[in-house]
Amino acid sequence: MGVRFLTDGWVADMKRCMNDEPNKFARWRRDMVENQIIARGITDPRVIDAMTHVPRHLFVSEAMADSAYGDFPLPIGEGQTISQPFIIAEMTQRLELCGSERVLEIGTGSGYQAAILSRMVYKVYTIERNNTLFLQTRKLFDKLKCHNIVTRYSDGTQGWKQESPFDAIIVTAGGNQIPTPLVDQLAIGGRLIMPVGGLHSQELLKVEKTETGIKTTNLGGCRFVKLIGQHGWSE
């Protein structure tokens, strides 16, 4: 099964889903991409395409649907949030994806970030430690027929050793350090994006793994919920 089959099937199913949505959501999504994504410097056409087509309002509660395309994070229950659209676009662009990658996501949350990635890469592996969110997102991925997303209920700070190495890793919660298992499971030439710092603010770091070592780049300040697990914060 190749990348083209997975991507084309995803697009066809998503188009059917979008055909049934109210026109306002399509309009708000276009406005979001134009005013929040492109206007702030996101230039990767594949990131722009994914965010133009993935229906963000399906990844929040019905009560929050009319706010889904706003320029802010939203609560998704269980003390977690769906990130601001721009930060999702920025983190995704910084992974420098070309389409053939196997990507690991730590912190499935609402599932929106994984859905964005699923339009862009060969396969997405995503780990969630909260069972309620895990079950909700797995059901949603099935509904949307995101067949190239593989889910796991586990401690994301330990990674997914059995499926490693990964071409890219994205961590959607803030930790006080980058978990060693994630660096170990990154392929040579791979990129890892993660917020690192204290409980209330972090710096978004990009790690590149080379034959000669690790290169770390600070991409600027951010604020995420805390990364909980063996190699993260305690409860």
149-188, pLDDT tens digit by residue? 999 999 999 999 999 999 999 999 999 999 999 999 999 9
Summary mean pLDDT of the chain: 92
Instruction: Output the pLDDT for position 8.
Output: 52
- 154 within domain boundaries: yes
110 carries an active-site annotation:
no
Q: Give the pLDDT score at 235.
A: 80
**Is 228 a domain residue?**
no
- Total domain count for the chain? 1
Is the N-terminal amide bond of 165 cis, ω within 30° of 0?
Answer: yes
231 found inside a domain: no
Q: Give the closest residue to 71 by CA, choosing from 58, 61, 93, 56.
A: 56
Q: Which of 61, 67, 83, 110 is catalytic?
A: 83
Residue 163 is predicted with a pLDDT of 98
Q: How confident is the model at residue 6 (pLDDT cuts 50, 70, 90)?
A: very low
Residue 73's domain spans which residues? 3-222
In a domain, residue 234? The reply is no
**So what's the pLDDT on residue 74?**
97
pLDDT tier at 5, thresholds 50, 70, 90: very low
Residue 232 lies in a domain: no
Residues 102/160, Cβ–Cβ less than 8 Å: no
Q: How far apart are the first and last CA of the chain?
A: 40
Q: Say which CATH number the domain at 217 has.
A: 3.40.50.150
Per-residue pLDDT, 1: 30
- Kindly state whether residue 233 falls inside one of the protein's structural domains: no
Where residue 15 falls among pLDDT bands split at 50, 70, 90? low
Query: Rounded CA gap, 141 and 145, in Å?
Result: 6
Q: What percent of the chain has pLDDT over 70?
A: 91
* Structure token digits, residue 168: 């890219």
Q: Is residue 235 part of a domain?
A: no
Residue 42 in domain: yes
